Chains A and B, each alone.
Chain A
Amino acid sequence: MKKRDLISITDYSKEDYLRILELAADFEKNPNQRLLEGKVAASLFFEPSTRTRLSFETAINRLGGRIIGFSDAGSSSVSKGETLHDTTRMVSNYVDLIVMRHPLEGSARYAAEVADVPVINAGDGANQHPTQTLLDMYSILKTQGTLDNINIFMIGDLKYGRTVHSLLMAMSEFENPVFNFIAPDELSMPEEYKLFLKEKGIRYFEHSEINDNINHADIIYMTRVQKERFMDPIEYEKVKNVYILRNSMLQNTKPNVRILHPLPRINEIHTDVDSNEKAYYFEQARNGVFVRQAIIAHILNLK
């Protein structure tokens, strides 16, 4: 059988998504299932990402597997100049599964070609981070009870934010989604994604600021507006405080609305939102462990 990897969210079908989400619900009910007993997973983090690494390593530990690896390239043979090809070939000889984070785009697809064991992409530069998308979907399913007819507001950096792009692609597989984009001009949703929605006949709306329009939202997906994305620092100063979500803005929003954020947040969600029951970003991160357990179980055919 051809080995199963997870490199890009579009590698998977709607059936795969649903299977993983179903498994995730099962792991949430019963997190300690020793399905990886006697197996070894490699956690190769060529750039640091504490949250994602700990989430994966927790998932592997809860499945009873053992972990080898490194948490940044400086403590690996990469610092001696070893190529990704050679590191991957070598590690692939030792383990049953590779989880990989790398700063270069396309690195995970390449590693999956070189490795004999399945590879899970835990982020390749600005390209893909599919396990984040699956945990976002799980969070939507859990809070809304369905993935159909969801009105999603995406706010912040919609140009470079890989999480919003992948979530858009994945949610387009479900019935009747509506997308609303709120971003500064410099960071607006790229044309290719808008064209993709148009071709699929999916409705989307663009707004330049957060106002009453969020009262229609089922999901508000916030992202960080990063200073380094702006050519002109003055432009950043102009917009940096425009895309901040405050508790007062949520007054007339729907009771079922939930606020998601891939984290870390800086100031784009004011801390006064944290105590609102509509804030869901910390639970969202917790869901990540169950979803990653589910992805591993799916890829290795453990269940």
Chain B
Amino acid sequence: MPDSLKKKLKLKVSAINNGTVIDHIPSENLFKVISILGLQKVKSQITFGANFESEKLGSKAIIKLSDVFFEADEINKISLIARNANLNIIRDYEVVEKRVVVVPDEVIGIVKCFNPKCITNNEEITTHFHVISKNPLDLKCKYCEKITHEDQMVIK
């Protein structure tokens, strides 16, 4: 990317004083990430953008959150739909820490069990999966014991 473009991109998304920048989200999953993290309830300033050029993803989305910091457990929830996402923790306009998201060992909520005869698809129950493979993702339902493969994954 030429420097002039980089500058333009920087201008598009204003810097934050303190908070978290989530980068490298696949553009098509931006709104799912917002929903999984419950950002619609956040009261502080949020800036987000999609369809930025990305060497890694082709097209990426970014979320900038003022005064919001995540616990690892919380942020790892998005790993299912934003495998390459990373976090920049900002303090006083400086990046003080960089983190990558990690697929957790247990996935609670978020994903629907692919089995139509599973109790979780027939009654109001939070889904719960044991992650038996991280790449490609294989999720074993705690209830019906069937495996939801990555290509069958539906986000709730």
Binding site for B on A (CB under 8 A): 8, 83-85, 102-107, 109-110, 124-128, 192
Contacts and interface: CB of A to CB of B under 8 A. Distances in A.
Nearest to B120: A106
Nearest to A126: B117
Contacts of A128: 145
A254 B117 CA distance: 42
Interface in B107-156: 113, 115, 117-120, 122-125, 141-147
A33 B67 CA distance: 67
Contact of A125 (B113, B117, B147): B117
B146 A105 contact: yes
Interface centre among A85, A110, A124, A126 (most CB of B within 10 A): A110
Among A85, A102, A104, A192, find the residue whose CB has the most chain B CB atoms closer than 10 A. A104
A104 B118 CA distance: 6
A180 B8 CA distance: 67
Contacts of A107: 119, 143
B145 A105 contact: yes
Interface of B: 113, 115, 117-120, 122-125, 141-147
Nearest to A114: B125
19 contacts: A84-B119, A85-B123, A102-B119, A104-B119, A105-B115, A105-B118, A105-B144, A105-B146, A106-B113, A106-B120, A106-B144, A107-B143, A109-B142, A109-B143, A110-B119, A110-B123, A124-B119, A125-B144, A127-B144
Given A105-B115, A125-B117, A8 B145 contact: yes
Main secondary structure of the interface of B (DSSP, over half): loop
A145 B117 CA distance: 39
B98 to A, nearest CB: 38
B116 to A, nearest CB: 10
B125 A104 contact: no
Closest 9 CB pairs of A and B: A106-B143, A105-B144, A106-B144, A106-B119, A107-B119, A104-B119, A109-B143, A105-B117, A106-B118
Nearest to B145: A127
Nearest to B121: A104
Given A125-B117, A126-B117, A104 B122 contact: yes
Given A83-B123, A84-B123, A110 B117 contact: no
Contacts of A85: 123-125
A110 B125 contact: yes
Given A109-B143, A110-B143, 14 more contacts: A84-B119, A85-B123, A85-B125, A103-B117, A104-B117, A104-B118, A105-B115, A105-B146, A106-B113, A106-B120, A109-B119, A127-B146, A128-B145, A192-B147
